[in-house]
């Protein structure tokens, strides 16, 4: 089973995204890191056509999306390919050229995608 790590309230179980110190649902400060399903449903996608980050400039347009995970959290992530709103997808953990860990949304069951293969397609 494919999983990602999210902050979860240990009191009520609510996913905390973006990360917070206090639960947005019950105000508990008992937030823990937990594996959650990496599967979800696309809400929207967009092509970025401008960037202030030099490493993205030669790879524009760059796809990003919002996806609602099975745990209920709605997150923003990089998008590997055009996917339609309502389509089921999965998240792959990936490291960007600066060394930052981030999420990449892709078709369910597709092979692992390398950062170098992303961008430049619209």
Can you say whether the dihedral through the CA atoms of 73, 49, 96, 87 is positive or negative?
positive
32 is a site residue for Zn ion (CB under 5 A): no
- Nearer Cβ to Zn ion, position 5 or 27? 27
Query: Of the two residues 10 and 110, which places its CB atom closer to Zn ion in the complex?
Result: 10
How far is Cα 20 from Cα 2, in angstroms, rounded to an integer?
Answer: 24
- Taking the complex as a whole, the smallest distance from the CB of residue 89 to Zn ion amounts, in Å, to 27
Distance from C-alpha of 68 to C-alpha of 51, rounded to nearest angstrom: 25
- Return the SS3 of 15: strand
12 binds Zn ion per the rule CB under 5 A: yes
- The contact set with Zn ion (CB under 5 A) reads 9, 11-12, 14, 23, 25-26, 28
């Amino acid at each position: 089973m494919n999983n990602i790590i999210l902050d979860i309230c240990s009191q009520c179980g609510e996913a905390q995204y973006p990360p917070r110190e206090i639960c947005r649902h019950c105000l508990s400060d008992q937030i823990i890191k937990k594996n959650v399903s990496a599967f979800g449903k696309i809400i929207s996608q967009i092509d970025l056509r401008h960037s202030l980050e030099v490493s993205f400039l030669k790879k524009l347009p760059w796809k990003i999306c919002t996806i609602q995970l099975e745990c209920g959290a709605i997150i923003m992530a990089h998008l590997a390919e055009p996917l339609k709103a309502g389509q089921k997808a999965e998240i792959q953990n990936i490291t960007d050229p600066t060394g930052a860990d981030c999420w990449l949304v892709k078709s369910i069951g597709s092979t692992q995608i390398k950062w170098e293969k992303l961008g430049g397609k619209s």
